[in-house]
């Protein structure tokens, strides 16, 4: 498939190699699952119930793992709410919405209140544990540093530093220095991710990106994540299949 040529660097060393994917249920990681399959990996999908408000994302993850044929899907519990400090896990902090000033400016600075402290490091560490137990060497991570929210743990330098650490942390890493943390969409615009996914057959109606989706998985249409997603479909010139809540004004 032509679309795969630009992802040759992310191909498995050997067809069928196991690789662990952090699967959130959102648009980016669903696209990655389709990409991993197309590249020839045996994908192991990992979702973490870390106390996020938007747990309908996890329902979406279950569906996506089935639809796209993850070899196995694990959902593990790790309650990051115990530590507090984010609008995504702390019910005392409001999720900021379109046109609404951040209700907690003291928490903002350049990084938004929806940032969960060290979340991606925790998630990647769990993926690393599973990868090592499987005897694998590859992790897929749907970080994006273009149309993103300014989280520090979504940038290429961070991913490289995690990979370097992983190669010192693990049996295989120490022996072979062969662990790779792949972030194939880190430099893509949301519209390019959507175009890639559509070429690979992803049905984005099955994904949930919204920070405060309702129990049915319907999106609010106004949070940062919804806004980035909408803009992506618009810029890709594609119809947005997202199901919005009636009262979203979307």
What's the rounded Cα separation, in Å, for the pair 10 and 224?
29
Count of residues near its own copies by CB under 8 A: 47
What minimum distance in Å lies between the beta carbon of 123 and its own copies?
Answer: 8
Which helix (H) or strand (E) segment is 176 a member of? helix 171-176
What's the rounded Cα separation, in Å, for the pair 194 and 201?
10
| Residues paired with 21 in a beta bridge | 45, 140
What's the rounded Cα separation, in Å, for the pair 191 and 207?
15
| Residues paired with 140 in a beta bridge | 21, 182
Can you tell me which of 37, 59, 130, 238 binds its own copies, judged by CB under 8 A?
A: 130
To the question of whether residue 33 is assigned a binding role by annotation, the answer is: yes
The number of beta carbons lying within 10 Å of the beta carbon of residue 63 is: 17
Can you tell me which of 55, 102, 170, 214 binds its own copies, judged by CB under 8 A?
A: 170
174 binds its own copies (CB under 8 A): yes
Can you tell me which of 84, 201, 241, 249 binds its own copies, judged by CB under 8 A?
A: 84
Q: Which of 202, 183, 131, 189 is nearest to 9 (CA)?
A: 183
Q: What is the CA radius of gyration of the chain?
A: 17
Specify the stretch interacting with its own copies by CB under 8 A; choose among 60-68, 82-90, 194-202, 223-231. 82-90
79 binds its own copies (CB under 8 A): yes
What's the rounded Cα separation, in Å, for the pair 219 and 247?
10
165 binds its own copies (CB under 8 A): yes
- For residues 107 to 126, the per-residue mask of contacts with its own copies, x marking binding by CB under 8 A and - elsewhere, is --x-x---xxxxxxxx-xxx
- For residues 211 to 240, the per-residue mask of contacts with its own copies, x marking binding by CB under 8 A and - elsewhere, is ------------------------------
In degrees, to the nearest 5, what angle opens at C-alpha 69 toward C-alphas 166 and 74? 50
78 binds its own copies (CB under 8 A): yes
Touching its own copies, residues 42-61 (CB under 8 A): none
52 contacts 81 by C-beta, under 8 angstroms: no
Known binding residues for ATP are: 23-33
Applying CB under 8 A, the residues found at the interface with its own copies are 74, 76-80, 82-86, 109, 111, 115-122, 124-126, 128-134, 152-153, 155, 157-158, 161-162, 164-166, 168-171, 173-174
């Amino acid at each position: 498939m032509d679309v795969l040529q630009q992802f040759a660097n992310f191909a498995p060393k050997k067809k069928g190699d196991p690789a662990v994917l952090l699967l959130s249920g959102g648009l980016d990681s669903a696209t990655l699952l389709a990409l991993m399959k197309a590249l020839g990996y045996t994908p192991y999908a990992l979702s973490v119930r870390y106390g996020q408000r938007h747990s309908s994302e996890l329902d979406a993850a279950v569906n996506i793992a089935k639809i796209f044929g993850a070899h196995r899907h694990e959902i593990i519990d790790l309650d990051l709410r115990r530590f507090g400090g984010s609008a995504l896990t702390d019910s005392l902090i409001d999720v900021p919405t379109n046109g609404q000033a951040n209700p907690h400016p003291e928490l903002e600075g350049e990084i938004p209140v929806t940032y969960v402290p060290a979340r991606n490091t925790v998630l990647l560490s769990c993926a690393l544990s599973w990868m090592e137990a499987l005897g694998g060497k590859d992790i897929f991570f749907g970080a994006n540093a273009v149309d993103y929210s300014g989280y520090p743990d979504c940038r290429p330098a961070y991913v490289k530093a995690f990979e370097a650490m992983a190669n010192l942390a693990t049996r295989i890493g120490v022996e072979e220095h062969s662990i790779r943390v792949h972030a194939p969409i880190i430099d893509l615009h949301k519209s390019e991710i959507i175009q890639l996914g559509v070429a690979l057959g992803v049905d984005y109606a099955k994904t949930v990106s919204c920070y405060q989706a309702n129990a049915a998985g319907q999106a609010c249409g106004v949070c940062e994540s919804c806004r980035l997603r909408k803009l992506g479909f618009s810029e890709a010139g594609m119809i947005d299949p997202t199901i919005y809540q009636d009262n979203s004004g979307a």
